[in-house]
C-alpha cells in the first residue's frame, strides 16, 4: 500500500520535528565523525515512510522490543500506563479502542501533569517542546507517534510502539545479552554429555557463524533504510511470501520457547517438592502434572495484560539470573567441593548422540529475531558490530564454562538441566533452582504475547466480539503450550528439536539467503562462497538434528 503525497510530506515534517537526536546535533556539534555518520544514517532511515508496516505482522516490532529490550531506567517510566492500576492493564481497557488516535496519544501521557500540561495556553520555543516531550517518552514509544496523532489513517496499525533510536552502547549490550543468555545455558552440560568433549567445538563454530550472520542482517538493513525488523528483511528479499514464512518460523520458535518454560517449571518445582500431589475427582495429579498446571494458571493473568512494560523491566534481570545460576554451579563445584568425575565417566566423542548436541548448541544462539530491533534502536548504529561481538564472546564463555564444569561434575549422569543434578542440601543449589524457577514467570507473557498480537491482527478491529476473541486467543495459547509440554515433557530433547528445526533456519540459513537476495549485485565472490557454506552447514545440521531429536522423543514416549 502506497502513501499519498500529503501523507508522505506529513511524515517527513513530523518525524523531523519530533526527533530529539536531530535537535541535539543542531544545537551542539562535537566534530565526531562517527557521530555524524550515525546521525546521517538516522536521518536517512527516518526520512522515508516505512512501506513495510502495512503488512502482517504489523505488531512484530513492538512485541520484539518488549521481549528483547532492557528499557532505560528513567523517571519517565512513571508515565507508563502500566502503573495506572491493574484494572487498566488488562485487555478490556484497550482492545476495544486499539485503532483510535486518542488511545495512542494517551499511551504516552504521564500520570503526573507536566509543566507543559499546566500551561497549555503558553507556547514555549519549539526546541523546548521537543526536549520536554522526549524526557517523557515511553520505553516503547513509536518513532512515528506524532504522525499517528495527526493522521487517523496511520493509526490503523495496532499495537505499534517501536523503540525510539536512543539506546546507548551499554543498553544495547544488555539487550543483546538478555536475548542470547537464556535457558539454553542450563542444558550445555547435557549437550557436552551427548556430544562428548570434542562436541564443544560445535559451540564455538556456531558462535562464529551466528555472529557473522548477525552482521549480514545489519548489512541488509543498511542497504534499505526502511527495514526495521526481520520480517521486513524477509519481505525485501522474497516479497510478501518471504515475510509470511519468516514470521511464521519466528513465531513457532517463540511458541516452542513457551512450551520449554512450562516444562522447565514443572521439572524444577517437582525436584523441590517431589512428594507434592493432589487428588481431583479420584484422579491423582503427581508433582510434574500438578506444577505444570499451577504454572499455567499463574502465568495466564500476565498473558491478559495489555501493557507488559513492568514485566519487561523485571525480565531484564534474566542476564543477572543467568550469571547467578552460573556462579552457583561454580561455587558448588569448587568451594563446596562436590568433586569432578573421572575420565571413566566422561566421553571424548559420542557420534551416536552428537546430532542432539548440535541442536542444543544451536539453540544457544537463537537471538537473531531481535538483532534487527537492537540495531535499529541504537543511537550509534556503527557500534552494533562491537555490541554483537561483545555479547557473543561473553555468552560463549559462559556457555562453554558451564558445559565444562557441569559435565566434569556429573559425567554421564548429567540431566537435561544441570539444576536437577545439584545436591539438594546446599544453599547454593537452592539459590540456583529458585532463580531458575522465578525467571520464567516474567518471561512467559513476553514470549507468548507476540504470537497473540499477530493473531489479533487477523480479527477486524470493529468486530463486536473482538475483546472476547482476544482473551480466547491468549488463553488458548497458554492451554496449548501446557498440553504440548505435558505430552512431550523432555526439556533437553525439545530444546534440541527447536535448535535444529527452527534456530538453524533463523540464525544461519535465512540471514544468508536474505543477504544474497537483497545485495545480489554487490555481493563479492568470497561473501557468496561463505554464505553458501553456512547455508549447507545449516541444512545438514537441521536435517540430522531434527531427525535425531524426533527419533529420541518417539523412543522416550513409547518406553
Beta bridge partners of 285: 278
Q: State the pLDDT confidence band at 179, using cuts at 50, 70 and 90.
A: confident
In a domain, 27, yes or no: no
Q: Distances from the Cα of 395 to the Cαs of 107, 114, 318, 372, 380, in angstroms?
A: 35, 42, 13, 19, 23
User: According to the model, what pLDDT value does residue 8 have?
Assistant: 39
Residue with the larger pLDDT of the pair 463 and 93: 463
Q: State the pLDDT confidence band at 39, using cuts at 50, 70 and 90.
A: low
Q: What count of Cα atoms within 13 Å lies in the side-chain half-sphere of residue 477?
A: 31
| Contact between 372 and 228 (Cβ < 8 Å) | yes
User: According to the model, what pLDDT value does residue 57 have?
Assistant: 83
- pLDDT, tens digit, 9 for 90 and up, residues 98-112: 443 333 343 334 434
> 551: domain CATH number?
1.20.1740.10
Whole-number average pLDDT of the chain? 77
| Contact between 141 and 108 (Cβ < 8 Å) | yes
| Contact between 307 and 89 (Cβ < 8 Å) | yes
Q: What is the mean pLDDT of residues 159-188?
A: 77
Beta bridge partners of 174: none
User: According to the model, what pLDDT value does residue 339 have?
Assistant: 74
User: According to the model, what pLDDT value does residue 207 have?
Assistant: 96
Question: Is residue 190 pLDDT above 60, yes or no?
Answer: yes
User: According to the model, what pLDDT value does residue 76 have?
Assistant: 34
CA 56 to chain centre: 19
Q: Where are the alpha helices (DSSP H) in 140-225?
A: 145-150, 169-180, 188-195, 200-223
Q: State the pLDDT confidence band at 68, using cuts at 50, 70 and 90.
A: low
H/E stretch holding 278 reads strand 278-280
- pLDDT, tens digit, 9 for 90 and up, residues 348-404: 899 999 999 999 999 999 889 999 989 988 889 999 999 999 999 999 999 999 999
User: According to the model, what pLDDT value does residue 420 have?
Assistant: 92
Residue with the larger pLDDT of the pair 5 and 379: 379
3-state secondary structure 480-529: HHHHHHHHCCCHHHHHHHHHHHHHHHHHHHHHHHHHHHHCCCCCCHHHHH
Q: Distances from the Cα of 314 to the Cαs of 178, 318, 501, 507, in angstroms?
A: 11, 8, 30, 27
- Taking residue 338's Cβ as centre, other Cβ atoms within 10 Å add up to 18
In a domain, 528, yes or no: yes
| Contact between 499 and 182 (Cβ < 8 Å) | no
Q: Is 467 helix (H, G, I), strand (E, B) or coil?
A: helix
Least confident of 21-35, 49-63, 239-253: 21-35
User: According to the model, what pLDDT value does residue 37 have?
Assistant: 54
In a domain, 269, yes or no: yes
Residues above pLDDT 90, as percent of the chain: 46
Reported pTM: 0.76
In a domain, 485, yes or no: yes
d(CA 164, CA 316): 18
In a domain, 216, yes or no: yes
In a domain, 443, yes or no: yes
Cell of 492: 533437553
- pLDDT, tens digit, 9 for 90 and up, residues 212-232: 999 999 999 999 888 889 999
User: According to the model, what pLDDT value does residue 342 have?
Assistant: 59
User: According to the model, what pLDDT value does residue 165 have?
Assistant: 54
* Most confident segment among 174-178, 255-259, 439-443: 255-259
User: According to the model, what pLDDT value does residue 77 have?
Assistant: 33
In a domain, 194, yes or no: yes
Q: What is the mean pLDDT of residues 154-158?
A: 37
User: According to the model, what pLDDT value does residue 153 have?
Assistant: 40
- pLDDT, tens digit, 9 for 90 and up, residues 328-346: 999 998 888 777 765 567 7
d(CA 249, CA 451): 11
Question: Is residue 92 pLDDT above 70, yes or no?
Answer: no
Tally of domains in the chain? 1
d(CA 533, CA 512): 10
Least confident of 38-52, 369-383, 456-470: 38-52
Task: State which residues form the domain around 303.
Answer: 172-557
In a domain, 88, yes or no: no
Question: Is residue 203 pLDDT above 70, yes or no?
Answer: yes
Q: State the pLDDT confidence band at 405, using cuts at 50, 70 and 90.
A: very high
Q: Name residues whose C-beta falls within 8 Å of residue 229's C-beta, 6 or more positions apart in sequence.
A: 52, 60, 61, 64, 372, 373, 376
Amino acid at each position: 500500500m502506497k502513501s499519498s503525497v500529503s501523507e508522505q510530506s506529513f511524515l517527513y515534517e513530523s518525524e523531523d520535528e519530533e526527533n530529539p537526536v536531530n535537535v541535539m546535533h543542531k544545537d551542539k556539534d562535537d566534530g565526531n565523525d562517527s557521530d555524524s555518520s550515525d546521525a546521517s544514517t538516522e536521518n536517512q532511515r527516518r526520512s522515508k515512510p516505512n512501506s513495510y508496516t502495512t503488512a502482517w505482522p504489523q505488531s512484530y516490532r513492538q512485541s520484539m522490543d518488549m521481549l528483547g529490550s532492557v528499557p532505560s531506567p528513567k523517571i519517565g517510566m512513571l508515565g507508563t500506563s502500566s502503573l495506572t492500576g491493574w484494572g487498566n492493564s488488562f485487555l478490556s481497557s484497550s482492545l476495544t479502542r486499539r485503532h483510535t488516535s486518542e488511545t495512542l496519544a494517551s499511551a504516552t501521557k504521564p500520570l503526573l501533569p507536566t509543566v507543559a500540561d499546566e500551561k497549555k495556553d503558553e507556547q514555549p520555543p519549539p526546541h523546548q517542546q521537543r526536549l520536554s516531550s522526549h524526557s517523557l517518552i515511553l520505553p516503547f514509544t513509536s518513532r512515528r507517534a506524532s504522525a499517528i496523532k495527526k493522521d487517523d489513517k496511520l493509526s490503523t496499525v495496532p499495537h505499534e510502539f517501536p523503540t525510539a533510536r536512543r539506546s546507548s552502547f551499554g543498553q544495547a549490550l544488555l539487550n543483546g545479552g538478555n536475548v542470547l543468555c537464556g535457558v539454553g545455558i542450563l542444558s550445555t552440560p547435557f549437550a557436552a554429555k551427548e556430544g562428548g568433549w570434542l562436541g564443544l567445538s560445535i559451540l564455538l563454530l556456531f558462535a562464529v557463524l551466528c555472529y557473522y550472520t548477525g552482521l549480514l542482517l545489519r548489512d541488509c538493513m543498511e542497504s534499505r533504510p526502511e527495514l526495521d525488523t526481520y520480517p521486513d528483511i524477509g519481505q525485501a528479499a522474497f516479497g510478501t511470501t518471504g515475510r509470511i514464512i519468516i514470521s511464521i518460523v519466528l513465531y513457532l520458535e517463540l511458541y516452542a520457547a513457551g512450551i520449554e518454560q512450562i516444562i522447565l517449571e514443572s521439572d524444577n518445582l517437582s525436584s523441590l517438592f517431589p512428594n507434592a500431589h493432589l487428588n481431583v475427582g479420584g484422579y491423582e495429579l503427581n508433582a510434574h502434572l500438578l506444577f505444570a498446571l499451577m504454572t499455567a494458571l499463574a502465568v495466564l493473568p500476565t498473558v491478559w495484560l495489555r501493557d507488559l512494560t513492568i514485566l519487561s523491566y523485571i525480565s531484564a534481570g534474566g542476564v543477572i539470573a543467568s550469571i547467578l545460576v552460573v556462579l552457583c554451579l561454580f561455587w558448588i563445584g569448587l568451594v563446596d567441593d562436590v568433586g569432578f568425575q573421572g575420565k571413566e565417566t566422561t566421553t571424548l566423542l559420542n557420534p551416536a548422540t552428537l546430532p542432539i548436541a548440535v541442536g542444543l548448541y544451536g539453540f544457544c544462539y537463537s537471538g537473531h529475531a531481535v538483532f534487527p530491533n537492537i540495531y535499529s534502536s541504537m543511537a550509534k548504529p556503527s557500534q552494533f558490530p562491537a555490541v554483537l561481538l561483545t555479547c557473543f564472546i561473553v555468552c560463549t564463555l559462559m556457555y562453554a564454562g558451564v558445559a565444562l564444569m557441569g559435565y566434569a561434575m556429573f559425567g554421564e549422569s548429567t540431566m537435561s538441566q544441570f539444576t536437577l543434578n545439584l545436591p539438594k542440601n546446599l544453599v547454593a543449589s537452592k539459590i540456583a533452582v529458585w532463580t531458575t524457577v522465578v525467571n520464567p514467570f516474567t518471561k512467559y507473557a513476553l514470549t507468548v504475547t507476540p504470537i497473540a498480537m499477530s493473531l489479533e491482527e487477523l480479527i477486524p478491529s470493529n468486530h463486536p466480539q473482538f475483546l472476547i476473541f482476544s482473551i480466547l486467543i491468549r488463553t488458548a495459547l497458554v492451554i496449548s503450550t501446557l498440553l504440548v509440554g505435558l505430552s512431550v515433557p523432555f526439556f533437553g530433547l525439545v530444546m534440541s528439536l527447536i535448535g535444529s528445526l527452527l534456530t538453524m533456519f533463523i540464525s544461519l540459513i535465512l540471514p544468508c539467503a536474505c543477504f544474497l537476495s537483497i545485495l545480489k549485485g554487490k555481493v563479492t565472490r568470497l561473501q557468496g562462497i561463505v554464505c553458501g557454506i553456512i547455508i549447507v552447514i545449516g541444512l545438514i545440521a537441521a536435517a540430522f538434528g531434527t531427525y535425531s531429536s524426533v527419533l529420541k522423543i518417539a523412543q522416550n514416549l513409547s518406553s
